[in-house]
Structure 1
Amino acid sequence: MVTERTDNSSGPDLDTDPGLDPETGRRPTVAIVAVLALCGTAVALQQTMVVPLLPEFPTILGVSADDASWLVTATLLTSAVATPVMSRLADMVGKRLMMLVCMVAMTAGSVLAALSSAFPLVIAGRALQGFAAALIPIGISIMRDELPRERVSSAVALMSATLGIGGALGLPLAGIVSESLGWHANFWLSAIVGVILLGAILLVIPESRVRTGGSFDYLGAVLLSIALTGLLLVISKGSAWGWRSEPVIVLFLIAVGALSAWVPFELRVGQPLVDLRTSARRPVLLTNIASVLLGFAMFANLLLTTQELQIPTVTGYGFGLPIITAGLLMVPSGLAMVIFAPVSGGMINRFGGRITLLTGGLVMALAYIARVFLSGNLTAVVIGSTLVSIGTAIAYAAMPTLIMASVPITETASANGLNTLLRAIGTSTSSATVAAILGTVTITVGTLTAPSAQAFQDVFWIAATAALLGCVVAWFIPRPSAAAASGPAGEPTPMRVGPAVSAGDSKDVVLRGRIRRPDGAVPYPAVVTVVTTDGDPVDWGRADHDGRYSIALPGPGRYLVLANAQGWSPKAQVMTFRHRAEMTGLSEITLTDQLTLSGQVTCGAAPVPHALVSLSEAAGASVCSLTADEHGHWCLPLPPPGRYVVAVLARDSGAAGARKVVLDARSAVVDVSIPAAG
C-alpha cells in the first residue's frame, strides 16, 4: 500500500540563516574545516602537553612519581567517560552546543591548573581538560552535516590526522614553553587557545539541524563510566600497582560487572547511550575492532621513537638527545600526516573506506618491520617514524567514513564517539604494553639501567602484528555493494556520508514521527528507511519503545518512506514536502497487516473443534499453546524466523498429530491432520 502526503500551502520558506553564503547556501567550507581541525589539534595537545614535565612534576608539586602520573591518568579517564556522553548529547541537543561545552571545560581546566601549584587543583584542571576529547567525533559529525559530499572525505581525513599532528608537535612545544616561561605557561597557552577557539566556533560553526531530542540514558552513562574507569585504571596502573595486586583485581571485577550490566540494559532501553544493535552491524563492529588494533600501533610509534632518541648513547643504540630535540625530530611525522590527509580523502573517494583502511594498516605494518632492521642511525629512525605516521593518517581517515556510511545520520556523533573511545583504549593498551616491556627487558651499563635494543624490537614486532591483525579485520568489512546483507534482517543499506544535496540546497532537517499498530500499541523492534523517489538512500533509524523515530532529510522534496517491524508486514508510503514548515510536524505511520502463523486442525476431512495447538522450537523449548475455535481454526502472531514443531491434540478422542515447519519473515499457514482413532 502506497499513500502520498501532500500539502498545497504555498509561500516563502521562512527558515533561513542569515549567516549562510548567499551563493552556496552554506557557510564557507574552508573556514569550517579550519576551525574544526584546529579544535582537533588542541585536543591532541592536551594529551602530550605534560609529558615533557612528568620527570619534574614530583619535585615541582611535592609528590611521588606515581602520584605525578595521575596528571596523565586523570585526563585519560575524563576523556574516556566524556567522549560517549558528550557525543550522544550532541546528537540529541546540538553539536555546536556540545562543542562549546567541551571547549569551556577545557579552558576552565587550563585556567585552574595555570593559577594553582597545589597538586589536587592541578589534577582537577587536567581532568577538565579531558572533556576536549569529545571534540573529535563531534567535529567529524558536523563535517558530515555541513560540508558538500565531495569535501567530506578529505575534511574527515584532516580531522582524524590532527590526533597525530598534535601529538607530534606537542612534545617540542611543551618543552620549549616550559623552559622559557615556566610550567604554568603551558596551561596559560592552552587557555588562550581555548578562548580563541570558543570565539571561532561561535562565529564559524553553525548549529546542526540534525537533532533527535528525546531522553538521555542516565543509567547507561553511569554504568559505562564505571566500566571504563575500572578498565582504564587497570590498563594504565596495572604495571605500577602490580597486575596481581588487590586494587587491580578489584577494579577489573568492577569493570566486568558494570559492563555485564550495561550491555543488556542498553539492549532494552528505548533511547540508549550507545546503540549496540547498530554497533553490532558487521561494518561498524569490524571497523571498531580494527580501530583498537591500529590505535595500539599508532601510539607505540610516538612512545618508542621519543624514548629511543633520548636513551643515552652508552647503551650502544640510543642517541642521547634532550627532550626538545627529540620532540623536534617528531615534527616530520606530524607534517607527513598533514600532507597525506588530502591524499587519504582522495583514496576514500576513489577506492572506498575499506581499501583505504587496509592500505593504511599495511603501510604501518611494513614500516614497523623495517624499523626492526633499520634503527642504526638517526635518519632511519626519523624515516621509520614518519612512515608509520603516513600509514596512520591513511587508516585514521577511513575509520569515521566507514562508521558514518553504516549508521543513521542522527547517530553520527555518538557512533564516532564510540569509535574514538575504542581508539583511546587501543592507545592506552599500547602505553601499558610499551611500559611493561621496556621496563622488563633491560640492560645495565655501569650504574645505568635502561631498556635494551631487544625490548624496542619486541615492541616493533608487536605493533606490526597489531597493524596486520587490523588489516585482517578490515579485509572482512563488507564492500558497499554487499553491506546490505551484512546486518540483521530488515536493516537498510548504508546511507550517505555527506549531504545528498548540491551546494545551493537546504541543509538537513530532522523528520520525527511514530510507528503504531491499528490498536495504538507500539510494534517493537521497528526501523524506518527513507530513499528518494529515484532510489538514492537518504537515512534510516530505529524506533524507540514509544514508537518514536528520527530521520534526517536533506530538505524539502519527495521521499519514499518504508516502515518495518518484527511480526508485521512492511509499509511504504510517499511523503512530499514543499517547505521546511511541513517537515516539523509528526509523521505517523500505522502498520496494518500483522504477520501470523495459522492453520486448521482436521481429522480426515472433518474439522476438530476446540483442539489444543502447541508450538515449540525444533530444539525442544515450548513457545506457546492455544485452543482452536469450533471449526478447528487457530491463529497466533508470527514468531521469530526458525524451525518449529506444531503439535495438536483432539481433546475428545485423545488423538494427536504434529508437523515440522520452517518460518521466515512471512505469514504461514500450517494445517495439521489428526489420524482417525484406532
Structure 2
Amino acid sequence: MGQATYRGGRLVSLVATLILCVLAFQLNASMLTPALPSIAASMNVSVDLMSNVSSLFFLASSIGGVVLARWSDFIGRRRALIIVLLTLTVGTILCIFATNLTILLIGRVLQGASGATFQIAYVFLREKLDTKTFGIVLGILTAVNGGVGGFDGYLGGVLSDKYGFQSIFIVILAIVVFTLICVMLVVPKEDSAVTTGKMDWWGSGALSVGLILLTYFVAQGSAVGWFAPITLIFLVGMVISFIVFWYIEKRSASPMIAVQHLRSRQVWPVVTSTLLCLTGIFAVINFTVVLLSQDQEVGFGLDAAMSGLLFLTPAALIGVFAAPISGWLAGRFGWIRMLRLGILVSIAALVAILLFTGSKWIVFSAVALLGITYNGLILTTINGLGVLQSPDEAPSALPGINGAGFGVGASLGIGLVAPFVGQGTLGGYTTAMWVSIIITVLALVSSLLIVPKNGQKV
C-alpha cells in the first residue's frame, strides 16, 4: 500500500481527476442508451444492428482493461492515462461526425478502450494512498461506475430529443478534453514504470481473442441455443485461445500474469468470485426484475418509466452512498470478510424475491437492499481485492483480468436466465431466480477460497 503521499488539497485534486477519468468512460456507457432508437432511425438501420453500438463498446472495455492497464506497469500510470484519454478523444470525434454505422462502431470501439481508466485509477490509488483512504476513495470510484444516480441516462435522452444524438458526444468530448488537461496538471510527471521488461503483446493478443470469442459464445448461446453449431464453434475457439494464452505465459519473460499466480488461491478465486457475483446478481437487478415488473399477466404491469423509477433508480442511488462506506468498512474490518458478508446478505435478498415474487413492495425492498450489498459491498470489495491481491511484479494484471470478469459475468447472467424469463410465466421467473441464487451461492463458496496475499489483512 502507498505511503500517503497525497493529503489535503493535493489529495482532493487527485481524486477529482481520477473521478473525471472514470466518468469520461461511464458517460459513454450510460448517456447513449436512450438515444439508440433515434440513432437507428437516423442511420436507417435496425435496432438489432444498433445493439452493436453498446455490445462492441463493452467488449472493447473488457479488452482495454486487461491490455492497457497492464501496459501501464511498463510505461507509467500518467502516460497510460494520457494515451487512453487521447484514444477516447479520437473515438468521440468519430462518433460526432459519423454518417453511417461502420464509422460509429469504430468510434465506439475506441471509446470502449477507455474502460482501462478504472483499473489504472485503482492501482494508482493503491500506490499513492494509505489503507484507510484507499478504501474510501476506491468506493467513490466504484459508485461512479454505476453512473450518476440515473441522471446521466435522463440527460442523454433530453439531449438526443432536443439536439440530436451528436450533442451527447459533444458534451462527452468537452468532459474528456477537460479531464486530459487535469491529468497533465495533477498527475506528477515523475510517475514512471513500476516493473521491468517488455509488454507481453503476444499473450495479450491471445487473451483478447479469447475474450472476444467468449463474448460471442455467450451472445450466440442465448440467441440461438447453447448447443447450436455456431455457438460450439465459438466455444472451441475460446478454449483454444485460452490454452494458447497459458502456453505463452509459461514461456514469457514478462507475462501478462505468471502461471504460478493464475494457479494461486490469491488470484483465481478473486476472478471466479467476480464472475459468479456478476452472473448471479446483475441479471436479477437489470433484467429479471425489470421484465417481471412490466409483465401484464403475472407481474406488476408497470410501464417502462415506472419500472425504472422503482426497480433501477433506487438501487443505483443507494449504491452511490453505500460504495464509499463499504470501502471504509473493508479497510477497517477486512476486504475478504466484507465481500463474504455482501454475498451472504445478497443471497438472502434474492431468496426474498423468489419467495415473494407476487409482492411488488417486498421485491422493491429486496432490490433496494441489493443496492447496499451488491452495488455497495460486493462491487467495492471485488474491485479492491483485484488490486490488493495482484502480484507485486504485475500490479495491474489482476485488476485488468478481474475487470473483464464484470462484462463477461453480466452478459453470461442475462444469457442464462433469458430463456426462462422470456416464457412470461410465473414458473419461468421462478426458475430464473433459482438459477441466479445457485450461481450466487457458488460465488460465496469461491470467496471462501480466497487466501490473502503474503498473509496481509485484507
Q: Taking structure 2 as the reference length, what is the TM-score of the superposition?
A: 0.89
| CA distance in 2 between partners of 1:210 and 1:127 (Å) | 27
In structure 2, the CA distance between the partners of 1:458 and 1:186, relative to structure 1 (3 Å rule), is: farther
Matched, 1:229 2:215: no
Shift of 1:280: 2.2
> Which residue of the partner structure matches residue 67 of structure 1?
49
CA deviations 1:29-81 (Å, max 9, x no partner) are 22222332343344333333343344555433222333222112211221222
Of 428, 432, 435, which aligns to 1:462? 435
The answer (yes or no) to whether the contact 1:357–1:474 under 8 Å persists in 2 is yes
Describe the SS at the equivalent of 1:412.
coil
| CA distance in 2 between partners of 1:108 and 1:375 (Å) | 47
Q: Specify the code of the residue in structure 1 equivalent to 2:13.
A: A
CA deviations 1:215-242 (Å, max 9, x no partner) are 1212112211211111111112333344
Alignment of 1:235-314 (within 5 A): 235-300=218-283, 301-309=285-293, 311=294, 314=296
Alignment of 1:579-658 (within 5 A): none
Of 51, 62, 81, which aligns to 2:33? 51
In structure 2, the CA distance between the partners of 1:396 and 1:316, relative to structure 1 (3 Å rule), is: closer
| CA distance in 1 between partners of 2:321 and 2:340 (Å) | 19
In structure 2, the CA distance between the partners of 1:40 and 1:366, relative to structure 1 (3 Å rule), is: farther
In structure 2, the CA distance between the partners of 1:39 and 1:354, relative to structure 1 (3 Å rule), is: same
Q: Specify the code of the residue in structure 2 equivalent to 1:467.
A: T
Q: Specify the code of the residue in structure 1 equivalent to 2:161.
A: E
Matched, 1:337 2:319: yes
Identity %: 23
CA deviations 1:96-122 (Å, max 9, x no partner) are 221222222223222212222311111
Question: Which shows bigger deviation, 65-74 or 398-407?
Answer: 398-407
The answer (yes or no) to whether the contact 1:172–1:325 under 8 Å persists in 2 is no
> Which residue of the partner structure matches residue 384 of structure 1?
366
In structure 2, the CA distance between the partners of 1:55 and 1:430, relative to structure 1 (3 Å rule), is: farther
CA deviations 1:488-520 (Å, max 9, x no partner) are xxxxx25698xxxxxxxxxxxxxxxxxxxxxxx
| CA distance in 2 between partners of 1:146 and 1:455 (Å) | 49
| CA distance in 1 between partners of 2:80 and 2:92 (Å) | 18
Shift of 1:82: 1.5
CA deviations 1:321-364 (Å, max 9, x no partner) are 24487258633222211211232123212321111110111122
The answer (yes or no) to whether the contact 2:38–2:165 under 8 Å persists in 1 is no
Shift of 1:379: 4.3
Of 95, 113, 125, which aligns to 2:77? 95
| CA distance in 1 between partners of 2:153 and 2:291 (Å) | 12
> Which residue of the partner structure matches residue 449 of structure 2?
476
| CA distance in 1 between partners of 2:316 and 2:19 (Å) | 13
Matched, 1:415 2:398: yes
The answer (yes or no) to whether the contact 1:49–1:174 under 8 Å persists in 2 is yes
In structure 2, the CA distance between the partners of 1:408 and 1:209, relative to structure 1 (3 Å rule), is: farther
| CA distance in 2 between partners of 1:165 and 1:298 (Å) | 18
Q: Specify the code of the residue in structure 1 equivalent to 2:265.
A: R
Of 122, 131, 134, which aligns to 1:140? 122
In structure 2, the CA distance between the partners of 1:66 and 1:320, relative to structure 1 (3 Å rule), is: same
> Which residue of the partner structure matches residue 18 of structure 2?
36
In structure 2, the CA distance between the partners of 1:325 and 1:229, relative to structure 1 (3 Å rule), is: same
| CA distance in 2 between partners of 1:273 and 1:308 (Å) | 42
In structure 2, the CA distance between the partners of 1:290 and 1:329, relative to structure 1 (3 Å rule), is: closer
Alignment of 1:38-187 (within 5 A): 38-165=20-147, 168-187=150-169
| CA distance in 1 between partners of 2:102 and 2:196 (Å) | 37
Matched, 1:351 2:324: no
Matched, 1:372 2:354: yes
In structure 2, the CA distance between the partners of 1:389 and 1:206, relative to structure 1 (3 Å rule), is: farther
The answer (yes or no) to whether the contact 1:102–1:134 under 8 Å persists in 2 is yes
Describe the SS at the equivalent of 2:300.
coil
Q: Taking structure 1 as the reference length, what is the TM-score of the superposition?
A: 0.62
Shift of 1:303: 2.6
CA deviations 1:642-678 (Å, max 9, x no partner) are xxxxxxxxxxxxxxxxxxxxxxxxxxxxxxxxxxxxx
Q: Specify the code of the residue in structure 2 equivalent to 1:97.
A: R
Describe the SS at the equivalent of 2:240.
helix
Q: Specify the code of the residue in structure 1 equivalent to 2:396.
A: A
The answer (yes or no) to whether the contact 1:287–1:403 under 8 Å persists in 2 is yes
Describe the SS at the equivalent of 1:289.
helix
The answer (yes or no) to whether the contact 1:364–1:464 under 8 Å persists in 2 is no
> Which residue of the partner structure matches residue 421 of structure 2?
438
Describe the SS at the equivalent of 1:206.
coil
The answer (yes or no) to whether the contact 1:178–1:186 under 8 Å persists in 2 is yes
CA deviations 1:552-597 (Å, max 9, x no partner) are xxxxxxxxxxxxxxxxxxxxxxxxxxxxxxxxxxxxxxxxxxxxxx
| CA distance in 1 between partners of 2:393 and 2:148 (Å) | 29
| CA distance in 2 between partners of 1:286 and 1:240 (Å) | 29
Structure 1: gaps spanning 5 or more residues: 1-20, 443-451, 484-492, 498-678
| CA distance in 1 between partners of 2:51 and 2:118 (Å) | 24
CA deviations 1:187-214 (Å, max 9, x no partner) are 2232222222222222223353452242
**Which gives a bigger RCO, structure 1 or 2 (Cα 8 Å, sep 6+)?**
2
Describe the SS at the equivalent of 1:185.
helix
Q: Specify the code of the residue in structure 2 equivalent to 1:303.
A: F
| CA distance in 2 between partners of 1:201 and 1:438 (Å) | 45
Describe the SS at the equivalent of 1:28.
helix
> Which residue of the partner structure matches residue 655 of structure 1?
none
Shift of 1:421: 1.0
Matched, 1:200 2:182: yes
| CA distance in 2 between partners of 1:410 and 1:389 (Å) | 35
Shift of 1:169: 4.7
| CA distance in 2 between partners of 1:315 and 1:119 (Å) | 37
Shift of 1:381: 4.2
Calculate the aligned-residue CA RMSD, in Å. Answer: 2.8
| CA distance in 2 between partners of 1:302 and 1:58 (Å) | 23
Shift of 1:269: 0.9
CA deviations 1:121-149 (Å, max 9, x no partner) are 11111111111211111110010112233
Describe the SS at the equivalent of 2:55.
helix
Corresponding pairs, count: 452
| CA distance in 2 between partners of 1:325 and 1:192 (Å) | 32
| CA distance in 1 between partners of 2:352 and 2:289 (Å) | 14
The answer (yes or no) to whether the contact 2:319–2:372 under 8 Å persists in 1 is yes
Shift of 1:24: 6.5
Of 391, 394, 401, which aligns to 2:377? 394
